[in-house]
Structure 1
């Protein structure tokens, strides 16, 4: 589909960009060397310089391997730290060069107008925005290996490097250079690894740090821009909101409880109420309007009269008095919700707290209406308008929290509640039809299953306590505090009904003749099979009178689709095709019943887990599946990468909204022919078979995976609070998708991002010409090929083959490696033949350069990691060796910038 909206920032020629990148990386390398020499002495600097020189002469040079084979554990730690820091600094150098490129091409200015530009290009009025609902959802999935201290240090180095983009006087340039040395030296002295496992509280704190410093300011700036450019200072719909799983994602995580939910919401509330109070205080400074010169409405005077301001200097300033009252009520609200007054308060407030965000919004509207009636709209200013917009979008919770739990857990809870209620029913042994009938019967009346006198299992008690916390949250923050109740592993209709029965136990769902639910249930379709059956399950749900009543007069049903588990289940092509087919079928199922569809995309950072440019992914969605509504997970390292600073956060947020608008309102291209659909289905089926044959049907493959990748070391990393595996087994089926992808990335296979494509082409009997035709007919297939080519470019079969040698004792290990290499080489041939290229990514020179730069930075880390892993595999249990391996993992992950 040819989009009228250019989402990619205009790029200068690769030669100019390369020059800036090389200059930045060389400077940062010099500063790092200077810091190592200054802090650790000449011997340390000489060791690092020798290794860097060996690496620059060829990452797989024999003398590099010889050097690493002789290093002691403490020297290995020094080298691992040095190369890891080099990787981080190289990324900063590239990013700063990219921002220079964007500034020179006026790309930032263009990006700031993308929503307005989309409206103009599509010949739409502002009311086209009314139906938009775009929500990036932050998750705590453990793919961010960097500590928050490192992220903050990198941000400061990036800021200083950005200052050097301009021609500066020598004395100022020297001062910035010295500040740069200090920051790099502090980075060198900052511990790269976490000595203890990260907690849920840590994850909440880390994510909110980014929200506070970049995402929220970007959101504020966007609403101000949209108001000015789209509605000439008027209101725009709350089309962009923020969501979170932090503190609410219980799936496979016993550490997420009612207490973590309370902590998350309390912390979120603190951030947004502090922001509101700061903005109200600024308005208070602005609106020193005396009633001697300008009148005010009765409603504004009533607010002013309610204030308790003892100052005799403000008796004739009704706007200031009114805003003083609003500020004090906000502070009291913070005391009630967050346990302490807002940061700007001098002490506890004596005013009543707001019961709901709507009351706060109403007071702000009172101020605005008075200004309009007494003085004119031009006195309002952008600050008040923007504050109103943000308050409507964020409420007192800021991030709409999702709850998530596995369908198997719900089934056990319902079974225990029924058994403890005295009913002589073995719920677990019932057929699906019998379960549905029983569950509908329970919701047809108000009788609770839960009894205060019953003794429940630890699991049931914990789950019910969490749901009680959710009910408390609705009372405190309002019904918009929760985004959805996501049901993992949804495979049947009963999987959607069971959480409703559980919600009914705490008052979040009411049955009877007119059933209602405060929290909507969103099924998560994760496996290839679940994606195929999902539309049928959705149809069964929507046909129920219960569903029709709960969804209301303007029904919208959300369905979440998972890219990660479906990829681990069936490979890259089958997963992507399964998601696309499911989306189309889900849209048709909803359309046939007059229900709107909202798809929630569970994407990760890597290609294998649905990663890639978010806006481009939206534009490549099947026709009629976006419908103005989209939620999308933002996970791990991608949160800092996409939202780590305000300009980047703003650019990514707006491009996402613009893409949703464009995908929704642009006339779709003609439907692909039946022959094209059949070819795509044949490719997906063939790819599924090729992938399953390797991963699940090849003898010894599981042992090969555990030996040839650093999975054993990764599961011991303290990068997330969630367990790496659902059980204690080594089965791939039980391993979570994130460590699966993470391990292949570390060993430079990148297997989840491409394996099965070439085998699928062969099994389907497709020619290069047919594949080229498919890429023209299908935006989806063109995007699939584009992302696959990136994964192929990031892989390195030479380095991967060395990791495979770690599995020398695994039966058939060499044959497995040969099969992987053959599939890789054939996939490269096909990708180039379909596109007509001669080198991977040669149609995207900036991206090609970025991949090559990352490879140059991480290659020596891979070779060092290989040496250390081989020692570990031989039984060396030295603690410094273990820490050195963890440092190499952190360095490779930071350099590649997509771990999982």
Structure 2
């Protein structure tokens, strides 16, 4: 097993100077563009606002900019909001370009203890005594799947992302020492791109559609994620793969077009659109690679024999050129190309991009058949020329095809358990069974559903009319069944059941999928789709192991899970946070994961955890690799899926080097976490952690759910009301029309607190939990040393505390009409913030937030420079709107401030 590593000297380490230089250049160019296009007075207005917002006040509070914005017309408000939002976006680009250099150098730095690549992880495990056979077995068991999801608060348009991508590319060129004339040319091109950006509309006139979300995400997949995956497989094959081949350990997943939980715009049509769009991307790449191989493999039988299998494959080519009769590799590749083109025509109604003529050959019925043909080519080359004649491109093509199939990314289906209950209720009623499903208790429901799975008789009749919801559900499942027939089983990642709480919640979708042929009933039921219950609330996380045990005790679960049973469970960070606060949520997820792993092992079943993380700290955000390494021992098992949402997709995968680094780091972390030996923490430490989580839960609930004035405070002291009405994301912000926090989706909950600079979901409840539990600094330090996840929890919480700005948050508090309640609630939040900050610093012995991570501290500070003025402008506009000003330009200006603040803070939802 080769382990060659490039550990060449990385050169000079960058400092904050690189970030500031980049940010200053881009800021100057935007000011220059505004002055050039709109005049000096316009540029001066922007500069004044930015300067005023950055001024420190003697008491440390946020400066008041009322005098600056009070007389601003709505037209000028839009102009200023656009300018400030553009400054925020450009500041991010400046930091990212410097950050990519910093990360690249950090990854290559000799002596770095934590493996940041899969190659480094393998090297570390070999040094610990792992044999090649053990590692090969570990690779075969790995299943690492980042899952792209839409974001209800996504604000950027594709056209703006394109401008940002080109600006990033040009800035990256300036890292090199360039001749003055070339540097001047790049600066001028940067000016043009920024000027074009300034003239491009930032906001959407209409709400984004699911089709838009699919197209936007696929743009990033095409330009950066897929190239990164290809590069990784090529490198892994050469450096750590036995015989030059790697198991398909890294795959991509998606919810775009399949996540219909509370989303009226997702249905069978969006499912088909998503998979067809994905297929076009991957089939075009396959076809391009086959064309390149055709050019390279002009091998003549006059000089070397070929295998009988290859001759048979070549003999199937339609109308072979007389000039190619002695070149069987080319003939075989012509056939492969034509069959790929036929697949594209069948799945996407288009030929592949490189097809010069139409073909009447049969399409591949399954990706495995495509891989099998490629392996015939490989086998013939090996037998008649040797391993070195095969080349990395052909092997990489096989490996990517095994990982991506014809679907590129596996698409999950997700629906709420409540919808399943209503759908089954109607099916039983219309079938004339006399069963009133909604009236049954849990035991009766489970017994009935098990009975339905024990035979093949359907509930659905094509001659019966059903209600709108049931018709839509059945049509979506029918579409999924057709997709499985067209693309193969790998195209559907899992059927995720939101709001899972009972055994019947797992059985219900199985009965529904039976109606469309994705589940087969009988004495030994089978399924071609994995069922993944999602445990979301604190209570559901605690109850999850019991539900898993009930499911695995059923004989039918073993036939449904198959010969090598692995049960996937999804863990929710978002709703558990909104339910019980940051600490209780993280503890609940970690404790639930351990209990689920124990239960699965006891029942002889493998476990795959699916972490439903968001971008913000309050929703499980933070570096993915560090999150994996912080998982309880025994819970990773080589398999993990985790969501990557909206705004974080562009940040983590927006360009090929960044995508590659994050994917490689994630794979390395999964391997290392899987090989880590389990150890039980000290019982005293365990008890302290439990006490802290429980006390934190009660502290959070006391504010958010027990204080009768809190709901009104939230709706008035954050821009949640305005966010609900803006064209942001394709999904409604709330599951119902009520204002109840219980019904609000977790993402807009977090997003609203971020906009108002509270960052409350990322830290509230920690300090009161410490006080209620009576924990000392020493005990907390023991916790940090005894639980990997607690160290990560503290690190992420410190970031959220640093990103909050209580001075600006106080201004949002002033928007509340009930001044007395607002002040009382804000004072409680302020006390909790101050206490959390003091405790966090005491645990690690710091004197200022993030003083142990100076680069991150500067990143937060730079973000503040661009975001603070946007907050002040937003406050002015919110005050006007709530005073009755419904001017359309004012609404658009608010939307621009929302976009700018989200862009500047990044991990806002």
Which residue number corresponds to residue 41 of structure 2?
A: 43
Q: Partners in 1 of 2:100 and 2:600 — Cα distance?
A: 43
SS in 2 for 1:374: helix
Change (3 A) 1:105 1:742: closer
Matches of 2:448 and 2:243, distance apart in 1 = 54
* 2:231 alignment counterpart: 221
**Contact 1:92/1:158 (8 A) holds in 2:** yes
Residue 733 of structure 2 corresponds to residue 743 of structure 1: no
| Structure 2 counterpart of 1:853, from 862, 865, 884 | 862
Residues 295-321 of structure 1, C-alpha deviations (whole Å, 9 max, x = no match)? 211111122222235544323221111
Kindly indicate whether the alpha-carbon contact (under 8 Å) linking 1:54 and 1:61 is maintained by their aligned counterparts in 2: no
Give 1:121 shift: 4.4
Pair 1:20 & 2:18 matched: yes
Deviation at residue 666 of structure 1 after TM alignment? 2.1
1:596–1:892 Cα change, 3 Å: same
Query: Greater shift after overlay, 562-571 or 314-323?
Result: 314-323
Partner residue in 2 for 1:477:
487
Summarize the Cα distance change of 1:119–1:277 in structure 2 as closer, same or farther, 3 Å threshold: farther
Instruction: Give the distance between the partners of 1:171 and 1:11, measured in 2 at CA.
Output: 30
Aligned counterparts of 2:804 and 2:689: Cα–Cα separation in 1:
25
CA distance in 2, matches of 1:94, 1:347: 47
The CA deviation at 1:579 is 0.6
**2:126 counterpart (120, 124, 127):** 120
CA drift at 1:292:
1.7
TM-score by length of 2: 0.96
1:356 is displaced (CA, Å) by: 0.6
Which residue of 576, 582, 590 maps to 2:586? 576
Instruction: Classify the secondary structure of the residue corresponding to 1:733.
Output: coil
- Is 1:812 aligned with 2:812? no
Q: 1:106 to 1:402 in 2, by over 3 A?
A: closer
**1:437-487 alpha-carbon deviations (Å, 9 max, x no partner):** 111111111111111121211100110011111111111011111111110
Pick the aligned partner of 2:717 from 708, 713, 722.
708
Confirm or deny: 8 A CA contact 1:523 1:560 kept in the other structure.
yes
Unaligned runs of 5+ in 2: 111-115
Residue of structure 2 in register with 1:52 after alignment: 50
Matched ranges for 1:82-101 at <5 A: 82-101=83-102
Q: Note the C-alpha offset of 1:340.
A: 0.7
Residue 618 of structure 1 corresponds to: 628
1:152 aligns with 2:162: yes
CA contact (8 A) 2:533 2:569 kept: yes
1:867 to 876, 882, 885: 876
**Corresponding residue number in structure 1 for 2:613:** 603
Which residue does the alignment assign to 2:567?
Answer: 557
3-state SS, counterpart of residue 816 of structure 1: helix
Q: How does 1:96-245 map to 2 (within 5 A)?
A: 96-105=97-106, 107=108, 111=117, 113-124=119-130, 125-231=135-241, 234-245=244-255
Deviation per residue, 1:252-298 (Å, 9 max, x gap): 01211111111111111111111100100111111111222222111
Question: For this pair of structures, how many residues does the alignment match?
Answer: 892
Measured at CA, do residues 74 and 243 of structure 1 come closer, stay the same or move farther in structure 2, by a change above 3 Å? Answer: same
Output the TM-score relative to the length of structure 1.
Answer: 0.97
CA deviation digits over 1:164-216, x for unaligned, max 9?
Answer: 01110111111111111111111111111111011111111111111111111
- The equivalent residue for 2:446 is 436
| Equivalent in the alignment of 1:66 | 67
Which of 265, 281, 290 aligns to 2:291? It is 281
CA contact (8 A) 1:558 1:597 kept: yes
What is aligned with 1:79?
80
Shift of residue 811, structure 1, vs aligned partner: 5.3
Find the aligned partners of 1:537 and 1:767 in 2 and give their Cα distance.
36
Is this contact kept in 1: 2:320–2:331, CA < 8 A?
no
CA RMSD of the aligned region, Å?
1.9
Which of 837, 840, 844 is residue 835 of structure 1 equivalent to?
A: 844
C-alpha separation in 2, matches of 1:602 and 1:408: 20
Whether the 8 Å CA contact 2:583–2:697 is kept in 1: the answer is yes
The alignment status of 1:786 with 2:795, answered yes or no, reads yes
Out of 74-83 and 884-893, give the one that drifted further.
74-83
Does residue 407 of the first structure (1) align with residue 414 of the second (2)? no
Distance in 2, Cα, partners of 1:538 & 1:730 = 34
Q: What is the rounded CA distance, in whole Å, between the counterparts of 1:472 and 1:647 in structure 2?
A: 36
Q: Is the 8 A contact 1:555 1:596 kept in 2?
A: yes
- Distance in 2, matches of 1:711 and 1:752, equals 14
- State the 1:51 CA deviation: 2.0
How far apart in 2 are the matches of 1:544 and 1:586?
17
Q: 1:153 Cα shift? A: 1.0
**CA-to-aligned-CA distance 1:374-427 (integer Å, 9 cap, x gap):** 111111111000000011111111111111100010011111111111112211
1:682 aligned onto 2:683: no
Alignment CA distance shift 1:158-1:332 (3 Å):
same
* Unaligned runs of at least 5 residues, structure 1: none
| 764-773 or 806-815, which deviates more | 806-815
Task: Return closer, same or farther for 1:451/1:108 CA change in 2, 3 Å cut-off.
Answer: farther
Q: Find the aligned partners of 1:226 and 1:123 in 2 and give their Cα distance.
A: 20
Counterpart check, 1:798 vs 2:804: no
Bigger mean CA deviation after superposition, 228-237 or 717-726 = 228-237
Q: Distance in 1 between matches of 2:637 and 2:872?
A: 48
Residue 279 of structure 2: aligned partner: 269
Distance in 1 separating the partners of 2:124 and 2:219: 32
Q: 1:704·1:810 contact (CA, 8 Å) conserved in 2?
A: no
Partner of 1:452: 462
The ranges of structure 1 where at least 4 consecutive aligned residues each deviate by more than 6 angstroms after the TM superposition are: 9-15
Contact 2:413 2:492 (C-alpha < 8 Å) held by counterparts? yes
Partner of 1:29: 27
Contact 2:55 2:63 in 1 (8 A): no
Name the CA shift for 1:10/1:750 in 2 (closer, same or farther; >3 Å): farther
Task: Say whether the 8 Å CA contact 2:10–2:109 is kept in structure 1.
Answer: no
Q: Answer whether contact 2:118 2:668 (CA < 8 A) is retained.
A: no
Alpha-carbon offset, residue 14 of structure 1: 12
* 2:270 matched residue in structure 1: 260
Distance of 1:720 and 1:420 partners within structure 2: 37
State the secondary structure of the residue aligned to 1:887.
helix
Q: Secondary structure at the match of 1:130?
A: helix
| Larger mean Cα displacement after TM superposition, 872-881 or 563-572 | 872-881
Name 1:303's counterpart in structure 2. 313
In structure 2, relative to structure 1, the CA distance for the partners of 1:156 and 1:680 (3 Å cut) is same
The alpha-carbon deviation at position 808 of structure 1 amounts to 3.7
- Please state if 1:341 is matched with 2:339: no
Q: Shift of the alpha carbon at 1:815?
A: 0.1
Assess if the C-alpha contact under 8 Å between 2:454 and 2:524 holds in 1: no
Aligned to 1:487: 497
Out of 48-57 and 380-389, give the one that drifted further.
Answer: 48-57
SS of match in other structure, 1:715: helix
Is the Cα contact below 8 Å between 1:233 and 1:382 reproduced in 2?
Answer: no
Q: Within 2, Cα distance between the matches of 1:452 and 1:663? A: 50
1:494-513 CA distances to partner (integer Å, 9 max, x unpaired)?
A: 11111111011111111111
Match of 2:597 in 1: 587
